[in-house]
């Protein structure tokens, strides 16, 4: 029976190739876009090297200064004073690491100029992140404290500068400063905002390493909780700590706000909370709600297209419906048949969507839009995409199928 | 599908299909059948107090001018529609006591249809078309369905065309396929609505001979609606309708 249904589903699909193409295109193109979006999303906020222990990590990317006398807001990363005197004194995090957003730097080889992204970090950063070391090691806390000129290079820089990745112990000159290479790591995608760079050097070498009591600086913080279960405790302790922070310039700054957030929340808070930053709301639910609604809305279009196509198909097939009823098909049999057809259509569309998404991601990877990013199709995402497509296949088939099953066989046979 | 029937089909020993005694056993009884189509402004009486009994092994033709209610009568006999008055009984049991699901089961087991415009499914091969009624009998395996469909096609002389599609056949061949489809479930009665209406006289004769053969040799009960007096006269009994009433 199923085979017969599948056979006729395929024939009906092929009968009106143009409409089938439009319909399949709608389903597959939608799924492709969703899959690509999900792959990007997963790449940006999903656990992957070097942020493998993402479930235990918390990030602080800004300290919001509410300026006095209604002079607005100033959002800046943290200073070393803030990190050392407040955050590193927290009891619940296992480790607190820092990194600056990458800045431009240049290195010259005999024949070319290398434009590099350089970040300043501390020793803890290397213990929180799990980089893939091709050779050597990370620099240590002691080396950082001693402000030694050591660095970690990514593979591309090592090969670009030395022509090989086997360069531990050699010297590289960047912005007229010489650094000894302590280690070489596999390239990290620029999508990893809290880890990406071409070159990492001790923060004590940073020109922004001021030793006064200012709060604003250039350091992003990464905290590692002892376990995923203790993450809320770390967030709470950070919250408590913020109440104790002494404002060095109270005439200019009225209040300070900062939150330790998991990676996605660290973005959603900034993205959706720009109106009133005094409210402690990470907006994760709002983000999911908006993203979910947009996804549903986006999928509604091909679903409506399918409904429309199905209703047209019913009109074409009233004779068949009449014959099937005359020969003993129940309403349920017909609904089943039609749903099978629709699900087949959705499945074919889904598989095409998978192929299209794989192609689109390959193009994106090839174009190097995001340095060292390798977007991959996520099977988990694809699974969900297919479930949603099937769901829409069913939803868009139920109404036409029900309508079809209610047709009076005499009327159906007359072809009206 | 058999198990869909609240009351299982009559399994009492029946007389052999082509024995003289069989002709006395009613398969289908219509008593005081009325069918009125009502719209907001007009009431059309399609059938008016029709009484008709079809016995096992009979070949009955129904004749009458266009619009006299022949096809309506056939639809009611085939349980595709409900009368507005009167009762229809199959094997002595009134069909009003059956649910929609049971009626579908009855149509599948007891009735085979042949339509004027064949109503084959163009997307399916000849064999798949013939197999269609058996799809609604889950107790049959795919192999059994195939064998029975091949046997039915053999009976109508089309065993060489099983892989063809309806669009590749002549009108007469298509009607043979439709007859094979009506036969495949071994129904007790075949209802044919102007089976030769779309065919030229030679092909019409062929189809008529086929139906007569099925009735005489295999004892299949047939009710046929026709416009053709010559063909009607070849059948055992002729029922005439005029303006929805039985006139002979």
CATH number at residue B128: 3.40.50.300
| Eight-state DSSP code of residue A245 | P
Residue with tokens 């219509």: B30
Confidence of residue B1 (pLDDT cuts 50, 70, 90): very low
The fraction of chain A above a pLDDT of 70, given in percent, is 97
- Touching check for A414 and chain B: CB below 8 Å? no
In angstroms, the CA B238 to CA B223 distance is: 10
| pLDDT value at residue B131 | 93
CB-CB contact of B223 with B74 (8 Å)? yes
Phi-psi region of A95 (alpha: psi -120 to 50; beta: other; left: phi over 0): beta
pLDDT above 80 for A312? no
Q: What's the sign of the alpha-carbon dihedral A142, A147, A149, A154?
A: positive
Q: Smallest CA–CA separation between B107 and chain A, in Å?
A: 5
Q: Do A327 and B75 touch (CB under 8 A)?
A: no
* Among A208-212, B95-99, B103-107, the range of highest mean pLDDT: B103-107
> Among A95-99, A144-148, B67-71, B175-179, where is mean pLDDT lowest?
B67-71
- Cα–chain center distance at B113: 4
The fraction of chain A above a pLDDT of 90, given in percent, is 39
pLDDT above 50 for B174? yes
- Domain ranges in chain A are 2-46+286-414, 63-257
For residue B2, the number of C-alpha atoms closer than 13 Å in the C-beta half-sphere is 9
φ, ψ of residue A231 to 5 degrees: the values are -55, -45
The interface predicted TM-score (ipTM) is 0.88
Kindly give, in sequence order, each residue whose CB lies less than 8 Å from that of residue B178, ignoring residues fewer than 6 positions away: B114, B115, B118, B119, B120, B195
Q: Do A326 and B104 touch (CB under 8 A)?
A: no
Size of interface A-B (CB pairs under 8 A): 75
Range of the domain at B42: 2-246
Q: Provide the whole-model pTM.
A: 0.69
Summarised one tens digit per residue, pLDDT across range A21-77 is 877 788 888 888 888 888 888 888 888 889 889 999 999 998 988 888 888 888 899
pLDDT above 50 for B3? no
| pLDDT value at residue A349 | 83
Which residue in B3, B67, B119 has the most chain A C-beta atoms within 10 A of its own C-beta, making it the best mutation to test that interface? B119
* Token pair for B177: 């396929």
Provide the number of structural domains found in chain B: 1
Three-state DSSP class for B145?
Answer: helix
Summarised one tens digit per residue, pLDDT across range A406-415 is 888 888 887 6
Confidence of residue A273 (pLDDT cuts 50, 70, 90): low
Q: Which of B78, B119, B124 sits opposite A8 (nearest CB)?
A: B124
Q: Do B136 and A328 touch (CB under 8 A)?
A: yes
The helix (run of H) or strand (run of E) holding residue A342 is helix A331-367
pLDDT above 50 for B133? yes
Nearest residue to A96 (alpha-carbon basis) of A108, A86, A109: A86
Average pLDDT over residues B139-156: 92
Look over chain A and give the mean of its residue pLDDT values, rounded to a whole number: 86
Which string of b and e fits B30-58 if b means at least 16 CB within 10 Å? bbebbbeeeeeeeeeebbbebebebbbbb
> Among A188-197, A207-216, B178-187, B189-198, where is mean pLDDT lowest?
A207-216
| pLDDT value at residue A274 | 61
Q: Do B128 and A4 touch (CB under 8 A)?
A: yes
Q: State the CB neighbour count (10 A cutoff) for residue B201.
A: 10
Q: Do B75 and A320 touch (CB under 8 A)?
A: no
Q: Which of A15, A327, A410 sits opposite B132 (nearest CB)?
A: A327
Nearest residue to B208 (alpha-carbon basis) of B85, A109, B216, A350: B216
Look over chain B and give the mean of its residue pLDDT values, rounded to a whole number: 86
Nearest residue to B33 (alpha-carbon basis) of B77, B86, B73: B86
């Amino acid at each position: 029976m199923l085979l017969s249904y599948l056979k006729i589903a395929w024939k009906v699909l092929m009968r009106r190739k143009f409409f089938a193409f439009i319909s399949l295109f709608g389903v597959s193109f939608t799924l492709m876009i969703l899959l690509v979006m999900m792959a990007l999303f997963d790449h940006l906020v999903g656990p992957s090297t070097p942020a493998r222990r993402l479930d235990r990590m918390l990030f602080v990317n800004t300290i919001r200064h509410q300026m006095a006398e209604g002079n607005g807001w100033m959002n800046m990363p943290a200073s070393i004073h803030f990190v050392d005197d407040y955050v590193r004194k927290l009891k619940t995090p296992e480790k607190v690491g820092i990194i600056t957003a990458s800045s431009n730097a240049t290195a010259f080889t005999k024949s070319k100029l290398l434009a590099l992204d350089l970040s300043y970090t501390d020793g803890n950063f290397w213990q929180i992140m799990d980089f893939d070391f091709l050779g050597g090691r990370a620099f240590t806390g002691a080396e950082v404290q001693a402000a030694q000129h050591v660095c970690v290079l990514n593979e591309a820089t090592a090969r670009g500068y030395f022509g090989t990745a086997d360069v531990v112990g050699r010297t590289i000159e960047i912005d007229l400063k010489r650094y000894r290479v302590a280690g070489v790591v596999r390239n990290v995608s620029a999508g990893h905002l809290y880890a990406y760079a071409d070159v990492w050097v001790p923060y004590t070498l940073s020109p922004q390493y001021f030793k006064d009591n200012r709060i604003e600086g250039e350091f992003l913080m990464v905290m590692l909780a002892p376990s995923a279960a203790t993450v809320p405790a770390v967030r709470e302790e950070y919250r408590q700590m913020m109440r104790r922070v002494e404002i060095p310039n109270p005439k200019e700054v009225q209040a300070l706000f900062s939150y330790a957030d998991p990676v996605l929340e660290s973005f959603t808070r900034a993205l959706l909370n720009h109106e009133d930053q005094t409210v402690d709301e990470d907006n994760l639910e709002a983000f999911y709600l908006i993203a979910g609604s947009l996804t549903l809305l986006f999928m509604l279009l091909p679903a409506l297209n399918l409904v429309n196509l199905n209703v047209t198909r019913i009109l074409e097939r009233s004779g068949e419906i009449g014959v099937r009823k005359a020969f003993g098909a129940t309403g349920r049999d017909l609904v089943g048949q039609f749903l099978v057809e629709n699900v087949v259509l959705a499945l074919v569309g889904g598989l095409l969507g998978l192929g299209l998404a794989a192609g689109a991601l390959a193009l994106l990877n090839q174009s190097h839009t995001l340095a060292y990013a390798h977007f991959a199709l996520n099977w988990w995402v694809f699974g969900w995409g297919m479930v949603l497509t099937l769901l829409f296949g069913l939803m868009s088939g139920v109404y036409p199928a029900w309508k079809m099953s209610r047709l009076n066989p005499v009327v159906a046979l007359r072809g009206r | 599908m058999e198990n869909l029937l609240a009351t299982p089909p009559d399994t009492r020993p029946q007389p052999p299909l082509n024995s003289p005694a069989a002709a006395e056993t009613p398969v289908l009884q219509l008593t005081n059948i009325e069918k009125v189509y009502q719209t907001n402004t007009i009431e059309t009486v399609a059938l008016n107090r029709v009484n008709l009994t079809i016995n096992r092994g009979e070949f009955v033709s129904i004749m009458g001018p266009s619009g006299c209610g022949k096809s309506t009568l056939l639809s009611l006999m085939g349980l595709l529609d409900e009368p507005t008055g009167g009762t229809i009984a199959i094997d002595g049991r009134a069909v009003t006591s059956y649910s929609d699901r049971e009626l579908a089961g009855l149509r599948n087991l007891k009735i085979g249809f042949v339509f004027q415009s064949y109503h084959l499914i163009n997307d399916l091969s000849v064999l798949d078309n013939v197999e269609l009624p058996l799809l609604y009998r889950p107790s049959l395996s795919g192999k059994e369905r195939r064998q029975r469909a091949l046997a039915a096609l053999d009976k109508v002389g089309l065993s060489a065309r099983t892989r063809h599609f309806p669009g590749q056949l002549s009108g007469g061949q298509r009607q043979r396929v439709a007859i094979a489809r009506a036969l495949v479930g071994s129904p007790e009665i075949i209802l044919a609505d102007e089976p030769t209406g779309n065919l030229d006289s030679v092909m019409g004769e062929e189809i008529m001979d086929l139906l007569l053969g099925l009735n005489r040799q295999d004892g299949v009960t047939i009710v046929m609606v026709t416009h053709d007096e010559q063909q009607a006269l070849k059948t055992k009994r002729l029922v005439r309708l005029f303006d929805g009433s039985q006139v002979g």
